[in-house]
Each structure stands twice: as C-alpha cells, then as structure tokens.
Amino acid sequence: MILADTELAQRVEQAETRLTVSIGEEAARHNPESAAFVIRVGSGAAVYAGQGSPANKIIGVGIGETPETGLLDEIERSFFARCAPVQAEISTLALPSVQAMFTARGYFLQGFENVLGRRLSEADAAEESPGEIAIEPVAAKDMVPWMDVVITAFENPDHTGAGSGVAPPNRRAIEEAFTQVSRAGGFRAFAASIGDCPAGGGSLRIDAAGVAQLCGASTLPAYRRRGVQGALLRHRLRQARLAGCDLAVMTAQPGSRSHFNAQRQGFSLLYSRAILVKEGD
C-alpha cells in the first residue's frame, strides 16, 4: 500500500497535466477550427481541445499553490466564449482554500473520481502465461478499428459505481481525443481478443517522470466477466515496468467494477479528485 502525500500527488497531477496539455496542443496543431487552447496555471493547466472533448478541464492545480484570480477570470471567459462549461478536477490533497475558492466562484460539485496507484517492481516484468485472452500491441494503421472496439465498449457501461453528474462525451469527441493522445509521446495501445474475435482494448502512456498512466480500458459487453480487464491491466503493467516506470496510476469511478479490478491487481487509493463545474450564462 502506498502512502499518498502531497509530493506523490503532485508527481501524479503533473503527469496528468502533461497528458492533457499534449491533447490540447495536438488539437490546436492539427485542427485549428477546434479553437483549442492551453493556459498554464502554476504547475497545472486549463485545456480546451474542442467541443465536448474529455480533455476540456482545469487540471493539476491547488497542491501547495493558489491560482491567481485574474487568471481564473481569463480561463472562464475563454471557455464561455466557446459555449463550454468549465470543469475543474481538484485533488483532495489540494489546499482547502483552493477548494473554497472554486466554490465561491460558483462551481458546483458534480462527482468524484478516484486516483489509484501501484508501485512497479521487477516481478511485474515477468513473462505472462498464455491463456484464452490474447493481448497485442496496436500498430498505427490499425488505430481506427481499435478505437471502434474501445469506444463501442465505453458506450455500453456496466453501470457499477456511484457514477458522475457530468454527461459523458459523445463518440466523435472521444475519437478526436484518442487521435490526439495517440500522437503524444509515450502512448501505446493494446487490443484484447478471444479466439479470432476482438474483445476489448486499453491504452498506456509512459510519462517522462517514470509514471505509467493507464489511460482507460474497456471490454465489449459479450466478453465481460471473462478476465479481459485483468489481462489488459497485467499486460500494461509489464510493459510499463519494462519501459522503466516505477509507479502506475489510473482513475476509476468510486465503487465501479474498474476500481474493483484494479484493487485485485494491487492498486490502492491515492486520493480522489472533486469534479467541479461552472456553467456560463
């Protein structure tokens, strides 16, 4: 079990910030009509990557530092000018004064997500035993069919856990986000199959600070409860350790099946993020 102090939380939040910023920068570079932007906020950032993008958020702020009021004014104007709400994901290890600041500015709590972590050791790099579920890396030319499987599975949730008050992004927004993050440094995609049939998929990003970010995995409804999620998780942990990472992190809805599967693989709760949303007029 890991004791998550503010130093560890800052390490994870900065990795998440780098990932989110890379999505915003890719959107601005390859899709100018998206009106994407990145605004740095201390060690965190505010990112807009296009209408409905899951990367549209304020992330990585509040741990040991307080955002400037004028900067938050600018961020809110930028989001509202694009007819988008502002979503701030604030760690429970952030300064209490920062949480109060967002509340005073009219942000409403819409839910939580749990940040789970696990130390990686040489044991994680051991060869995997062959089984019913095959996990293979996805080449760039195969990204489109891989996204189709993963997003179709995302669109059919198992409805476990507490859920969130924030509406999920639409399919096109998820496709664009996957396309953008696939261009980010350290991104890897993996496909799971049973026999000759696609069963699910997952992704991994190797951060420069030795943090392995498990960016999401999903299983098609017909193949659930057969160990696909566990196989994807173990395979990505092995790849992360082989790449030199010492820490793996992922997010999950509280009480969800994903949270349960992660705990079975040795993950523990590091902290939660409060999801705070402010709507424009």
Q: Are both 126 and 261 inside the same structural domain? A: yes
Provide the pLDDT for residue 53. Answer: 92
Answer yes or no: is 135 within a domain: yes
Q: Same structural domain for residues 111 and 61?
A: yes
pLDDT, tens digit, 9 for 90 and up, residues 114-152: 999 999 999 999 988 888 999 999 998 899 999 999 999
Paired sense of beta strands 86-91 and 57-59, if any: parallel
Please report the pLDDT score of residue 163 as a whole number: 60
Let me know whether 135 and 255 are in one domain. Answer: yes
Sign of CA pseudo-dihedral 255, 105, 17, 60: negative
Q: Count up the domains in the chain and report the number.
A: 2
Distance CA 201, CA 194 (A): 12
Contact 109, 80 (CB under 8 A): no
Say if residue 147 is in the same domain as residue 171. yes
Same domain assignment for residues 256 and 242: yes
Query: Domain check: are 125 and 263 in the same one?
Result: yes
Residues 138 and 172 in one domain: yes
In terms of residues, how long is the chain? 281
Say if 1 falls within a structural domain. no
Output the pLDDT for position 1.
74
Strands (E), the chain: 37-41, 44-48, 57-59, 86-91, 108-119, 133-137, 187-194, 197-206, 211-219, 247-252, 268-278
Domain of residue 211, residue span: 119-270
Contacts of 108 (CB under 8 A, 6+ apart): 276, 277, 278
Q: Do 130 and 243 share a structural domain?
A: yes
**Tens-level pLDDT at each residue, the chain (281 residues):** 788 899 999 999 999 999 999 999 999 998 899 999 999 999 999 999 999 999 999 999 999 999 999 999 999 999 999 999 999 999 999 999 999 999 999 999 999 999 999 999 999 999 888 889 999 999 988 999 999 999 999 888 776 655 666 777 788 878 888 888 887 789 999 999 999 999 999 999 999 999 999 987 899 999 998 999 999 999 999 999 999 999 999 999 898 888 888 999 999 999 999 999 999 87
Question: Quick one: 72 and 175 in the same domain?
Answer: no
> 135 with 257, same domain?
yes
Do 106 and 183 have their domain in common? no
| pTM over the 0.85 mark | yes
Q: What is the pLDDT of residue 168?
A: 75
Any idea what the CATH number is for the domain that residue 245 is in? 3.40.630.30
Asked whether residue 147 is domain-assigned, the answer is: yes
Please tell me whether residues 53 and 126 are part of one structural domain: no
- Would 204 be classed as within a structural domain? yes
Distance CA 186, CA 57 (A): 22
